Chains A and B, each alone.
Chain A
């Protein structure tokens, strides 16, 4: 059985699945339930200075759904913990004592003044928790008060506050990054420059999830008004994966540990984050949708896959896909594929045809000899993969590589055997070949 034990900046947990700082980790009651269910660790919901903040009394969440009302994206306007600091600290201490083998990291957000950080870090250290996570990500509410994303969007502030934190605690410091920036490498570099032990990302994405067309107001709607919230859930995973990979690939930050966050719902999502450079993952929306029991599928699924694929432990998959993330200009333009439709599994819905016909390359038939039949027209197929993505039957349409030396009926040329990218292409005014 694959070994899922995780060591993230010296914080040990029995598996790499932590609950992210969020409503599921706001109280001892919830966290104990999570640990009983099998979660490897938690990042306690963000603490602030007293007097504690207050939340809206109306709805805090909005959502988008897929078929059968499957929750795909969740938007929230909840703030950091709305319980007194002392209550949280006592509970953190109690939980850590009772669950010494689980990771317990405390998320923090206080004003940008060093004494504030010094003060709260001293108190958190007394709980004997495993580390702190600096919340530089919250895009709503707290950012208006100069905290959260207001810090995370300014690399200089990130570096400054991180430096204060490191100066005032012996605990590992994880800096949580906001995706609401143009290039995530800059805040990551700033965290590293400030001495961060690790970064975690992504926090939620600024969003208006929907509009109530009766009230003519954003949802969730509070007394006729709405505000932007933070977006998370399966819908944000691709954005998070790209940001994690960007930091993992950046020579300046390649060595900083990353806690991957953003839409992790299944073991496969977690494996993907880890192969793109995450040392562990944090989960929230999936737990908020299905409850803590999903940890069983996450752990068992990851173990099963690692066993089948022959990966003994997390180190053996960590960052494995990073070398294969490249820039578009280095993709091999001589690599040629064509769609292939398996007629036995085709259910004849015609979606591949109409997608290709209306919006792409007119490369799929709808009638052959007067019969409803969907076949790829190699002379037109550019190998774009749209048909694969719209087909409702998995593996009914696949992309087949045309071997080097074989004719590409679309171009009328044989597929070249050599690697050739854009930097070498004659159409590129700046290509090596053109010089």
Chain B
């Protein structure tokens, strides 16, 4: 195995199976009952709690934690799901260190917040493991809504619409529902097919028909959907990937981080996912962190993230950065790629220019360093896919323009999640937007 570990090129099976198992185990193992009680005891049950304000879905955190501490774990899960039906995934992937746990008064007091994310997972896992259903469909309204995109926004929207008694057809371009929960999250954050379990849990309310391999601009059009439905919700995410835009970036060894993460999630064996010995990741967000960390876990010996600005400018949280560093990823700042060339041995030489801020603008310094790697990943942001035929719907900054109820410029079309020009690109934000759009759709259809 050690031979393969040191082999140049992009190859499979750099580690033995035990190492893969260990590397891709649950990143933050769940709290057992005792641990949950100890953690729950630390909550002060704050008034107008800062953690709730910090949560995009405004889960009543003090209440659900108090319910755990009194042994009412079912009630705790209900409290969570009332605000966030994807509370299970959010408990796994939310950057709690920049949301609820950052706002926790015990972070202020002791630098050690209540473990809100893990407590939320404790309650939601309990409910989902025991298939506790808290919501039922209202009487059928006779209305039908097409939800395009079965990611966090679409699922949350579909569930809330189903609660109201509407019929939902949930389209997704991929063979599986779940969106980024299924294709875009680091493997060790969502083990044991959790995303699919969650899709099943959410849709088991009834009244939701899932249609896979159904893509806007191919099988679907907005006009066509509006002919068959009373309203449309777009939760189509950002299907396009920004290119580096430097000479040589078309090489086959230059890959999209998003695709790599998706392929890894869908792989049936980690040993079959090829990865370079020397890997360079360009970017500074969660995607860059996820791809770099997972490349290391797959056996890449030397993994570097290069970001054109400073540590404080990275979108990835400090916790994520530290997690990545602890796995051996080297994070370098103030450098950007300017040219990629192929060497005779098949490696890539990436010419990096050091950068600096000048008058508030980022610019090259004219000083360079060349880094030789086997594989280069780009994680420099995503855009609406060019093929997403959203027609005449207004766009701002490359994303769909929405009002505060997530209505688009088309009065029968709502949108939420990463594809809209509102809020942060977080699972929890998408859930909030999908849920709130559903309330707006319901109000419009009930008028």
A349 within 8 A of partner (CB)? yes
* Residue contacts A-B, CB under 8 angstroms, 5 given: A67-B42, A69-B37, A347-B109, A348-B105, A392-B109
What residues of A have a CB within 8 angstroms of the CB of B105 in the complex?
347-349
Residues 41-55 of B, flagged 1 when their CB comes within 8 A of A and 0 if not, give 110111111100000
What's the least CB distance linking B69 to chain A, in Å?
9
What residues of B have a CB within 8 angstroms of the CB of A393 in the complex?
109
In the complex the two chains form, is A366's CB within 8 Å of B109's CB?
A: no
In the complex the two chains form, is B44's CB within 8 Å of A349's CB?
A: yes
In the complex the two chains form, is A353's CB within 8 Å of B47's CB?
A: yes
In the complex the two chains form, is B41's CB within 8 Å of A354's CB?
A: no
In the complex the two chains form, is A351's CB within 8 Å of B108's CB?
A: no
- Interface of chain A residues 354 through 409 with chain B (CB within 8 A): 354, 366, 372, 392-393
B106 within 8 A of partner (CB)? yes
A113 within 8 A of partner (CB)? no
Q: Closest chain A residue to B46 by CB distance? A: A349
Say whether, besides A68-B38, A69-B37, A351 and B106 are in contact (CB < 8 Å): no
Say whether, besides A67-B41, A349-B44, A372 and B50 are in contact (CB < 8 Å): yes
In the complex the two chains form, is A366's CB within 8 Å of B48's CB?
A: yes
What residues of A have a CB within 8 angstroms of the CB of B108 in the complex?
347-348
- Interface of chain B residues 92 through 141 with chain A (CB within 8 A): 105-106, 108-109
Give the 3 A-B CB pairs with smallest separation, nearest first.
A350-B47, A354-B47, A67-B41
What's the least CB distance linking A370 to chain B, in Å?
13
Say whether, besides A350-B46, A351-B46, A372-B48, A68 and B109 are in contact (CB < 8 Å): no
What residues of A have a CB within 8 angstroms of the CB of B45 in the complex?
351
A68 to B36, CA, bound (A): 10
What's the least CB distance linking A214 to chain B, in Å?
12
What residues of A have a CB within 8 angstroms of the CB of B106 in the complex?
347
What's the least CB distance linking A348 to chain B, in Å?
6
A366 to B48, CA, bound (A): 9
Of B38, B42, B44, B106, chain A has the most CB atoms within 10 Å of the CB of B44
A46 to B109, CA, bound (A): 48
The chain B residues found within 8 Å of chain A, CB to CB, are 37-38, 41-42, 44-50, 105-106, 108-109
What's the least CB distance linking A376 to chain B, in Å?
16
Q: Closest chain B residue to A392 by CB distance? A: B44
The chain A residues found within 8 Å of chain B, CB to CB, are 67-69, 347-351, 353-354, 366, 372, 392-393
A68 to B41, CA, bound (A): 6
What residues of A have a CB within 8 angstroms of the CB of B44 in the complex?
349, 351, 392
In the complex the two chains form, is A349's CB within 8 Å of B47's CB?
A: yes
A69 to B39, CA, bound (A): 12
In the complex the two chains form, is A351's CB within 8 Å of B41's CB?
A: no
What's the least CB distance linking B64 to chain A, in Å?
17
What residues of A have a CB within 8 angstroms of the CB of B48 in the complex?
350, 354, 366, 372
Q: Closest chain B residue to A352 by CB distance? A: B47
Q: Closest chain A residue to B44 by CB distance? A: A349
What residues of A have a CB within 8 angstroms of the CB of B41 in the complex?
67-69
Q: Closest chain B residue to A67 by CB distance? A: B41
What residues of B have a CB within 8 angstroms of the CB of A351 in the complex?
44-47
A67 to B44, CA, bound (A): 11
Q: A67-B41, A347-B108, A366-B47 are in contact. List 11 more A-B contacts (CB 8 A).
A: A68-B41, A69-B37, A69-B41, A347-B105, A348-B105, A349-B47, A350-B46, A350-B47, A350-B48, A354-B47, A392-B109
A350 to B42, CA, bound (A): 15
A392 to B110, CA, bound (A): 12
A372 to B41, CA, bound (A): 24
A350 to B38, CA, bound (A): 22
A349 to B104, CA, bound (A): 9
A393 to B49, CA, bound (A): 16
A392 to B47, CA, bound (A): 13
A336 to B105, CA, bound (A): 31
Q: Closest chain A residue to B34 by CB distance? A: A69
Q: Closest chain B residue to A68 by CB distance? A: B41
What's the least CB distance linking A368 to chain B, in Å?
14
Q: Closest chain A residue to B106 by CB distance? A: A347
What residues of B have a CB within 8 angstroms of the CB of A366 in the complex?
47-48
What's the least CB distance linking A341 to chain B, in Å?
14
In the complex the two chains form, is B49's CB within 8 Å of A350's CB?
A: yes
Of A348, A354, A392, the residue contacting B50 (CB under 8 A) is A348
A179 to B8, CA, bound (A): 82
What residues of B have a CB within 8 angstroms of the CB of A372 in the complex?
48, 50
What residues of A have a CB within 8 angstroms of the CB of B47 in the complex?
349-351, 353-354, 366
A354 to B49, CA, bound (A): 11
What residues of A have a CB within 8 angstroms of the CB of B49 in the complex?
350
A348 to B50, CA, bound (A): 8
A69 to B35, CA, bound (A): 12
What's the least CB distance linking A211 to chain B, in Å?
14
What residues of B have a CB within 8 angstroms of the CB of A348 in the complex?
46, 50, 105, 108
What residues of B have a CB within 8 angstroms of the CB of A68 in the complex?
38, 41
A283 to B8, CA, bound (A): 71
What's the least CB distance linking B62 to chain A, in Å?
10
A353 to B41, CA, bound (A): 21
Q: Closest chain A residue to B42 by CB distance? A: A67
A393 to B106, CA, bound (A): 10
A37 to B105, CA, bound (A): 41
What residues of A have a CB within 8 angstroms of the CB of B50 in the complex?
348, 372
A347 to B47, CA, bound (A): 12
What's the least CB distance linking B439 to chain A, in Å?
27
What's the least CB distance linking B43 to chain A, in Å?
10
What's the least CB distance linking B229 to chain A, in Å?
43
What residues of B have a CB within 8 angstroms of the CB of A353 in the complex?
47
What's the least CB distance linking A129 to chain B, in Å?
44
What residues of A have a CB within 8 angstroms of the CB of B42 in the complex?
67
A68 to B34, CA, bound (A): 10
A220 to B45, CA, bound (A): 31
Q: Closest chain B residue to A357 by CB distance? A: B47
Q: Closest chain A residue to B107 by CB distance? A: A347
What's the least CB distance linking B167 to chain A, in Å?
42
A349 to B48, CA, bound (A): 8
Q: Closest chain B residue to A393 by CB distance? A: B109
What's the least CB distance linking B116 to chain A, in Å?
14
Q: Closest chain B residue to A353 by CB distance? A: B47
What's the least CB distance linking A388 to chain B, in Å?
15
Of A67, A68, A347, A351, chain B has the most CB atoms within 10 Å of the CB of A347
A174 to B41, CA, bound (A): 42
What's the least CB distance linking B400 to chain A, in Å?
32
A358 to B37, CA, bound (A): 28
A67 to B65, CA, bound (A): 13
What residues of B have a CB within 8 angstroms of the CB of A69 in the complex?
37, 41
What residues of A have a CB within 8 angstroms of the CB of B46 in the complex?
348-351
What's the least CB distance linking A69 to chain B, in Å?
7
What residues of B have a CB within 8 angstroms of the CB of A347 in the complex?
105-106, 108-109
What residues of B have a CB within 8 angstroms of the CB of A350 in the complex?
46-49
A67 to B39, CA, bound (A): 10
Q: Closest chain A residue to B40 by CB distance? A: A67
A366 to B49, CA, bound (A): 11
What's the least CB distance linking B35 to chain A, in Å?
12
What residues of A have a CB within 8 angstroms of the CB of B38 in the complex?
68
Q: Closest chain B residue to A396 by CB distance? A: B109
What's the least CB distance linking B113 to chain A, in Å?
11
What's the least CB distance linking B41 to chain A, in Å?
4
What's the least CB distance linking A365 to chain B, in Å?
12
A393 to B42, CA, bound (A): 13
A353 to B45, CA, bound (A): 12
Q: Closest chain A residue to B38 by CB distance? A: A68
A393 to B108, CA, bound (A): 11
